[in-house]
């Protein structure tokens, strides 16, 4: 089975998740700047989640790029990942509307942690199917970012109960880690394509 339809379906779900999150920016009845001021934390949490979904799309893209064949286990590991990501609009909206209160901010981290573990499971499933000399295993290397992220999420969940800004700091930190261009991967990908 080719990975093409898996990719197209995931793209569809990710595009919808990205776009329905904006529906949490509820249109206010008034027409002054003051009326949209309460939306600022909602917008901030939207931007954070937009970047996260963008990162997932990006990494998912790279991962499937080096995966030629899909099997049943991969389809379900992929749906499992999409399940966690589908909860992101909910936690994003809950956190934003409650102005980063402790419990919604922790819930945000729990869903991100679930997504990170689901991603890791999908990765392992693909690598196992590719056997020794797996091109995905080569691509991710030691996978430092992948190992660091869950730890930072757990830290953020704990910190949410001390001060939400601390949790926010760790959420932003994870995003920045992944946004930093990974010269090694780009090189590796261009090698594969040559």
* Whole-number Å distance between alpha carbons of 180 and 170: 15
Decide: is 87 part of the binding site for a copy of itself (CB under 8 A): yes
Decide: is 48 part of the binding site for a copy of itself (CB under 8 A): no
Please, which residues bridge with residue 69 across strands? 2
**CA neighbours within 13 Å on the CB side: how many for 33?**
0
DSSP-derived secondary structure letter, 28: P
* Whole-number Å distance between alpha carbons of 60 and 74: 13
User: To the nearest whole angstrom, how small is the minimum distance from the Cβ of residue 20 to a copy of itself?
Assistant: 7
How far is CA 159 from its chain centroid?
20
* Whole-number Å distance between alpha carbons of 138 and 191: 12
Decide: is 130 part of the binding site for a copy of itself (CB under 8 A): no
- Which sign does the torsion angle of CA 136, 117, 80, 45 carry? negative
**Contact residues for 115 (Cβ-Cβ < 8 A; gap 6+):** 56, 81, 84, 85, 88
User: To the nearest whole angstrom, how small is the minimum distance from the Cβ of residue 31 to a copy of itself?
Assistant: 4
Instruction: Pick from 3, 37, 49, 54 the residue near a copy of itself by CB under 8 A.
Output: 54
Nearer to a copy of itself, 90 or 120 (CB): 90
Instruction: Pick from 37, 38, 40, 83 the residue near a copy of itself by CB under 8 A.
Output: 83
User: To the nearest whole angstrom, how small is the minimum distance from the Cβ of residue 25 to a copy of itself?
Assistant: 5
134 near 155, Cβ under 8 Å? no
**CB under 8 A: which stretch of 88-96, 125-133, 137-145, 146-154 binds a copy of itself?**
88-96
Decide: is 109 part of the binding site for a copy of itself (CB under 8 A): no
Nearer to a copy of itself, 151 or 162 (CB): 162
- Chain residues binding a copy of itself by CB under 8 A are 1, 5, 7-9, 11-20, 22-25, 27-33, 36, 47, 50, 54, 57-58, 61, 65, 71-73, 75-76, 79, 82-83, 86-87, 89-90, 93-94, 97-98, 101-104, 107, 179, 181-182, 186, 189, 193
């Amino acid at each position: 089975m080719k990975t093409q339809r898996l990719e197209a379906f995931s793209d569809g779900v990710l595009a919808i998740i990205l776009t329905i999150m904006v529906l949490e920016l509820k249109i206010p009845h008034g027409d002054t700047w003051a009326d949209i001021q309460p939306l600022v934390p909602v917008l901030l949490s939207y931007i954070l989640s937009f970047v996260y979904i963008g990162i997932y799309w990006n990494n998912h893209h790279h991962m499937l790029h080096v995966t030629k064949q899909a099997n049943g286990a991969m389809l379900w590991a992929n749906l499992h990942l999409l399940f966690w990501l589908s909860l992101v609009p909910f936690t994003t909206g809950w956190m934003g509307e409650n102005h980063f209160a402790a419990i919604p901010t922790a819930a945000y981290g729990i869903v991100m942690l679930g997504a990170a573990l689901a991603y890791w499971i999908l990765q392992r499933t693909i690598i196992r199917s590719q056997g020794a000399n797996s091109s995905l295993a080569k691509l991710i290397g030691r996978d430092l970012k992948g190992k660091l992220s869950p730890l930072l999420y757990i830290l953020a969940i704990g910190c949410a109960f001390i001060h939400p800004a601390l949790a926010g700091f760790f959420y932003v930190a994870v995003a920045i880690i992944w946004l930093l261009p990974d010269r090694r991967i780009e090189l590796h990908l261009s090698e594969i394509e040559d």
